[in-house]
């Protein structure tokens, strides 16, 4: 069953509707606590969890919790597993719910909810000049905490490769902790996102930069995941690099 549309909009004021999307695969140890923490930030926030039929039963926990918490919604996917496909479906769902602002973040506490208000405030303060705000490890005040040196270097090198190849004017091209204006997601036609895996992060960033939409970065401390295991494999990493090449290629051909 698709998540319902928030029904309190008739009483809603000028406050924007904020929907936070969380793709999950085996996040049973994190998801309920994370959703509660996000929903506690403001009474009119909504959370959509997009789960790919996780073997550890993540979706069942969300289903149970959503019976008590009407602002928590579940999109239970059973086909075409993938971080990118789930991310795309989450955005489409958030827009269908009437979201004015969409937050996307990982569901493992690497992206900490306490930064969400500042991401939103940065978008709102810009009065339309900015259409995407990144939670960034690479600007002054940002930090990649707790991770091994090898992993930090993989991130740094990947970042350099993407910045050079795609020419995007941001410091942290790999950040999946982002705050989107509705209009940006509509302009880049988020429903047509093609990356099946984590390269969705770079695909949407590239399309936003190409559309000449303003992008801002807010410093965050990126923490190690709290529970569970990373889904990042060498295969996904290499797939990400080829997707970046494909983006450049399609753009040169004028087919993006
Ligand atoms: N729905 C869905 N979510 C996924 C899939 N793969 C990963 N995710 C989620 O995407 C987010 C990022 O995945 P992670 O495994 O944390 O990958 P990562 O952040 O690059 O790696 P670590 O920093 O090592 O945790 C997490 O919330 C995952 O649960 C998938 O195939 N389907
Ligand atoms: Mg993670």
pLDDT in tens, the chain (256 residues): 455 556 555 444 578 999 999 999 999 999 999 999 999 999 999 999 999 999 999 999 999 999 999 999 999 999 999 999 999 999 999 999 999 999 999 999 999 999 999 999 999 999 999 999 999 999 999 998 867 788 888 888 888 999 998 889 899 999 999 999 999 999 999 999 999 999 999 999 999 999 999 999 999 999 988 899 888 788 888 888 889 899 989 988 888 8
pLDDT at 73: 98
The per-residue DSSP string of 50-94 comes to EE---TT-HHHHHHHHHHH-TTEEEEE--SS--HHHHHHHHHHHH
CA of 22 to the centre of ligand 1 (A): 10
DSSP H helical ranges for the chain:
31-39, 58-68, 83-96, 116-125, 149-166, 182-187, 200-210, 234-252
Closest CA to 178 of 97, 224, 139, 120: 120
CA of 143 to the centre of ligand 1 (A): 20
CA of 37 to the centre of ligand 1 (A): 19
Is the separation of the CB atoms in 124 and 34 below 8 Å? Answer: no
95, part of any domain: yes
CA of 79 to the centre of ligand 2 (A): 22
Two structure tokens written together for 244 = 């970046």
Q: Taking ligand 2, which is a single-atom ion, which protein residues have CB atoms under 5 Å away?
A: 106, 108, 110, 225
Residue 230 CA: which ligand 1 atom is closest? 15
pLDDT at 171: 93
6, part of any domain: no
Residue 38 belongs to what domain range?
A: 18-252
3, part of any domain: no
Number of domains observed in the structure of the chain: 1
**CB within 8 Å of 63: residues ≥ 6 apart:** 74, 76
Is the separation of the CB atoms in 46 and 6 below 8 Å? Answer: yes
CA of 141 to the centre of ligand 1 (A): 25
4, part of any domain: no
205, part of any domain: yes
10, part of any domain: no
Q: What angle do CA 216, 218, 222 make, to 5 degrees?
A: 130
8, part of any domain: no
Q: What is the pTM of this model?
A: 0.93
Q: How many CB atoms lie within 10 A of CB 224?
A: 14
Residue 26 CA: which ligand 1 atom is closest? 29
> Best mutation site among 27, 33, 59, 106 for ligand 1, i.e. most ligand atoms within 8 A of its Cβ?
106
Nearest residue (by CA) to ligand 1, atom 5, is 83
Torsion of CA 26, 43, 8, 17, to 10 degrees: -70
Closest CA to 111 of 199, 46, 23: 23
Cβ < 6 Å from ligand 1: which residues?
23-25, 27, 50-52, 81-83, 86, 106-108, 110, 198, 225, 230-232
Closest CA to 163 of 206, 131, 132: 206
CATH number of the domain to which 130 belongs? 3.90.550.10
171, part of any domain: yes
Q: What would you report as the CA-atom Rg of the chain, rounded to the nearest whole angstrom?
A: 17
Is the separation of the CB atoms in 132 and 176 below 8 Å? Answer: no
């Amino acid at each position: 069953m698709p998540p319902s549309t928030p029904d309190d909009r008739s009483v809603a004021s000028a406050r924007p509707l904020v929907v936070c999307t969380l793709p999950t695969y085996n996040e049973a140890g994190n998801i309920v606590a994370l959703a509660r923490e996000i929903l506690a930030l403001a009474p009119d926030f909504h959370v959509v969890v997009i789960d790919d039929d996780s073997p550890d039963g993540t979706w069942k926990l969300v289903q149970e919790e959503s019976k008590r918490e009407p602002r928590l919604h579940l999109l239970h996917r059973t086909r075409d597993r993938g971080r990118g496909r789930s991310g795309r479906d989450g955005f489409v769902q958030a827009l269908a719910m009437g979201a004015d602002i969409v937050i996307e973040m990982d569901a493992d506490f690497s992206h900490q909810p306490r930064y969400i208000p500042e991401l939103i405030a940065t978008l709102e303060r810009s009065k339309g000049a900015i259409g995407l705000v990144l939670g960034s490890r690479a600007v002054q005040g940002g930090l990649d905490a707790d991770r091994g040196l090898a992993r930090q270097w993989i991130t740094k090198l990947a970042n350099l490769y993407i910045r050079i190849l795609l020419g995007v004017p941001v410091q942290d091209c790999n950040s999946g902790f982002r705050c989107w204006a509705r209009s940006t997601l509509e302009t880049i036609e988020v429903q047509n996102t093609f990356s099946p895996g984590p390269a969705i992060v770079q695909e949407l960033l590239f399309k936003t930069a190409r559309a000449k939409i303003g992008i801002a970065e807010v410093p965050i401390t990126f923490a190690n995941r709290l529970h569970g295991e990373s889904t990042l494999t060498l295969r996904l990493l290499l797939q990400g690099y080829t997707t970046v090449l494909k983006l450049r290629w399609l753009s040169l051909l004028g087919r993006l």
